């Protein structure tokens, strides 16, 4: 029973640090995803001809 108590205390002590680690990993994944979307949008703008961008924007406003 003492072993179980020691293990329980260790788990309770480690839970906050594990939660911080998971939150940090989640934040990094979200930031990486946002950066990838920005890069993709920028790349798409560079690949489209200049005249086509204006026409597409005009169509989306209507």
Encode pLDDT of 16-49 as tens digits.
999 999 999 999 999 999 999 999 999 988 887 6
Considering its fold, how many domains does the chain have in total?
Answer: 1
Q: Is residue 57 part of a domain?
A: no
Q: Is residue 37 part of a domain?
A: yes
User: For residue 34, what pLDDT is reported?
Assistant: 97
| 26: containing domain | 18-48
DSSP 1: -
Terminal CA-to-CA distance of the chain, rounded, Å? 72
User: For residue 3, what pLDDT is reported?
Assistant: 92
pLDDT greater than 80 at residue 62: no
Q: Return all residues near 56 (Cβ < 8 A) that are at least 6 apart.
A: 48
Note whether 23 and 15 are within 8 A (CB). no
- Prediction pTM value: 0.56
Q: Is residue 1 part of a domain?
A: no
User: For residue 48, what pLDDT is reported?
Assistant: 76
Buried b (16+ CB within 10 A) or exposed e, 8-33: eeeeeeeeeeeeeeeeeeeeeeeeee
Q: Is residue 26 part of a domain?
A: yes
User: For residue 46, what pLDDT is reported?
Assistant: 84
Q: Is residue 11 part of a domain?
A: no
């Amino acid at each position: 029973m003492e072993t179980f108590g020691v293990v329980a205390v260790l788990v309770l002590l480690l839970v906050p640090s594990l939660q911080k680690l998971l939150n940090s990993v989640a934040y990094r994944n979200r930031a990486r995803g946002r950066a990838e979307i920005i890069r993709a949008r920028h790349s798409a703008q560079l690949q489209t001809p200049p005249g086509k961008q204006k026409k597409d924007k005009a169509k989306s406003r209507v």
